[in-house]
Amino acid sequence: MSSSPTPDNSLNETSTTAKPPTHLILQMALRDVSVLFRTPWIIITRALSFIVQVFVFANLISGLIHIQGINYFEYYAVGSVVTTIASISFVIGYDIFEEAEEGVLDYLLTLPISRRQLIIGRALGGAMRAIVYTIPMFVIVAVFWGFSQPLPILTALLSLFLLAFGVTGMSITVAVSVKNANRFDVVLALLELAVSRASTALYPIGFIPVYVAVFAPFSPVSFAADSAYSSLVMLTLDLPAIAGLVAFVVIFLGLGATFYFRRLEGGVYA
Amino acid sequence: MSNARLIPLIIERDVRILFSDAFLVAIMFANFSIDLFVTAATFGRLVTGQGANYFLYIAPGSNLITAMVAAFQSGRDVWREKYIKDLTSYLLTLPVQRPVLAFSRVLGGVVRSVIATFPGTLVICYLYGILFTPKIFVAYLIVGLFSLGIVGLSMAISAFSSSIEMWVTVRSAIQLYLSFLSALFYPVSVFPSFLAPIVSSNPMTWAIQAFRQLSPISFAQVPAGDSLGSIATLAGPSLAFALLGTICYIWYSKL
């Protein structure tokens, strides 16, 4: 069997135990990055969806929308990158749910890594792979609309990373809270739809109906979209939006870690 | 038992599967509500100069998208029966001819889809002011006919997808085609000429046009008159896809 212990494996385990915590967290995160890229179908689907949404839907509908001071095609394209990163960040929840169902979690718990490092590594991995995955789309948008200044690009990427980190925490929270597979699928899909649509990512706040506009500015997707749009298009720094994103990360990473930790220690997956 | 008595039993089984978790039906309605009262309502305020209320123009799309999701759920259940639950052998032992079983599964999916969109169709009929007119039955006929094609398509995908990832990918590609390369958001004339044949052959284009023609409001670039022409055009691809789904189901059952 490929998983049988070998002298080489034993050496690896010994050396892993001796590694510093940050290295172990990074190793855990890199595992999640490689897991996503082993499922090319997900990448193809999301990439196709992004391209059709931006270059067919946004391109055509922007011909029917005339807002003073805003190029809606450009607005939608930046928003699409934000909603895509949110969408891909949710995938970590599916992975964690599947691992629990298939028994892979038991294997992960036998690894020479503390629970805390495991949880932080998973959340970091979810965010890292979302960023890696979204960068080509970000580049397409940046090249198409001529966003070339390094500082605004870095600020926008930071906002995207914070969003991905927080959404990963949210996804982990749901994955370890819902026990039924079908329910988990639809709850996560609904949550993804709600945070993306009830936000300012795809349409300016002034046009959102009042019953949604009341809370849309507080959606994490809105924070990231507002920050990215301000940086790239208006060349300004939206500090309240970044502060909102940091708060979102702290809350959901904390919640995700707490729930995951409870499940690991004597919960249904133990 | 005669086939005529077996078909309702098979349909009933599929409907029971849908209601085995009523929560899922509620979530589908929640999805519809977000689509209609958030996305469609916002685009209704964004798009101007279309001659009529854009919200009402795209409103039936939210319901048809829910019908599409529900129809694909039927295909996914068929896929789970084969690859996860290993129920195919059991289903083949039932005292029913295979073509009848296959077509009944398609019909079961249509009934499930119409049930899942029942409240949504009522909402659209209310918005169009046809809630208390005979046109409401035409509205359900359109949803049923549209679902017939999508259930057939989803069952055909189930026959050829060996992994759930592949199934989800093909489903997503079809959903993109139905949503964005159709007249759901804009008239066919907006598309570049090379895309026009693809848009015109999209079942969503005819389903939504038929819905719009039920409304007393005259929308820009929607031909006036009753929906019968659009329904007849929709029937073509829907019946073809239903037949494809039936054939694929029979084929995959024999594997």
* Predicted confidence (pLDDT) per residue in B132-159, tens digit: 999 999 999 999 999 999 999 999 998 8
pLDDT, tens digit, 9 for 90 and up, residues A77-94: 999 999 999 988 888 888
Report the alpha-carbon distance of residue B25 to residue B31 in Å, rounded. 10
Q: Give the range of the structural domain holding residue A191, as residue numbers without chain letter.
A: 19-266
Instruction: Name the domain count of chain A.
Output: 1
The rounded distance, in Å, linking the Cα atoms of B251 and B255 is 7
In a domain, A101, yes or no: yes
Instruction: Pick the residue of B180, B181, B188 with the most A CBs within 10 A to test the interface with A by mutation.
Output: B180
Minimum-distance CB partner of B186 among A64, A198, A203 = A64
pLDDT at B183 over 50: yes
Question: Cβ B165–A42 below 8 Å, yes or no?
Answer: yes
Q: What is the share, in percent, of chain B residues with pLDDT greater than 70?
A: 95
pLDDT at position B111 is 95
Average pLDDT over residues B168-172: 84
Query: From the CA of A52, how many Å to the nearest CA of chain B?
Result: 7
Q: Min CA distance, B166 vs chain A (Å)?
A: 6
Mean of all residue pLDDT scores within chain A? 82
What are the Cα distances from residue B156, in Å, to A70, B165, B243, B247? 44, 16, 10, 8
For tokens 């929607």, the residue is B222
- Closest chain A residue to B37, measured at CA: A209
Secondary structure of residue B51 in the 3-state scheme: coil
pLDDT over 70 percentage in chain A: 89
Residue A15 has pLDDT above 50, yes or no: no
Mean pLDDT throughout B36-40? 93
Give the closest of B23, B30, B180 to A57, CB-based: B180
A7 found inside a domain: no
pLDDT of A186 reads: 76
A2 within a domain of the structure (yes/no)? no
**Which pairs count as long-range contacts for B51-56, CB under 8 Å and 24+ apart, including other chains?**
B51/B219, B51/B220, B52/B217, B52/B218, B52/B219, B52/B220, B53/B217, B54/A64, B56/B127, B56/B128, B56/B215, B56/B217, B56/B219
Instruction: Judge whether A210 is closer than 8 Å to chain B, CB to CB.
Output: no
Q: Is the pLDDT of residue A7 over 50?
A: no
Report the pLDDT value the prediction gives residue A13, as an integer from 0 to 100. Answer: 45
Residue at A49 is within a domain: yes
- In sequence order, which ranges of chain A are alpha helices (DSSP H)? 7-17, 21-37, 40-52, 59-61, 72-89, 91-102, 104-109, 115-145, 150-177, 181-197, 210-213, 220-229, 239-264
Task: Report the distance separating Cα A117 and Cα A115, nearest Å.
Answer: 5
pTM recorded for the entire structure: 0.83
Confidence grade of residue A11 (pLDDT, cut at 50, 70, 90): very low
pLDDT score at B227 = 81
Q: pLDDT value at position B67?
A: 95
By mean pLDDT, which of A144-158, A160-174, B77-91 is the weakest? B77-91
| pLDDT tier for residue A264 given thresholds of 50, 70 and 90 | low
| Cα A150 off chain centre by | 23
**Residue A4 maps to a domain:** no
Report which of residues A105 and B63 the model is more confident about: B63
Record: contact A72-B46, CB cut-off 8 A: yes
Position A34 in a domain: yes
Which band of pLDDT confidence, cut at 50, 70 and 90, is reported for residue A268? Answer: very low
Of residues B50 and A26, which shows the higher confidence score? A26
Residue B254 pLDDT greater than 70, yes or no = no
Minimal Cα–Cα distance from B23 to chain A, Å?
A: 8
Write out the residues of chain B at the interface with chain A, using a CB-CB cutoff of 8 A. 21, 23-24, 27-28, 30-31, 34-35, 37-39, 41-43, 45-50, 54, 163, 165-166, 168-169, 172-173, 176, 180-181, 185-186, 190-191
Place of tokens 């899922």: B24
Chain A residues close to B185, C-beta within 8 Å: 57, 60-61
Size of interface A-B (CB pairs under 8 A): 94
Q: What is the mean pLDDT of residues B156-174?
A: 83
pLDDT for residue B63 is more than 80: yes
A positions 57-96 inside 8 Å of B (CB): 57, 60-61, 63-67, 72
Segment B48-71 mean pLDDT: 86
Chain B residues inside the 8 Å CB shell of A182: 21, 24
Point out the least confidently predicted range of A238-247, A261-270, B3-12, B71-80: A261-270
Chain B residues whose beta carbon lies within 8 Å of the beta carbon of residue A178: none
Confidence of residue B240 (pLDDT cuts 50, 70, 90): very high
What is the reported pLDDT for A9?
Answer: 42
Structure tokens at A193: 């739809």
A12, part of any domain: no
Q: What is the ipTM of this complex?
A: 0.82
* pLDDT score of A200: 94
Residue appearing with tokens 């189930």: B158
Q: Report the residue from A49, A207, A208 with minimal CB separation from B172.
A: A49
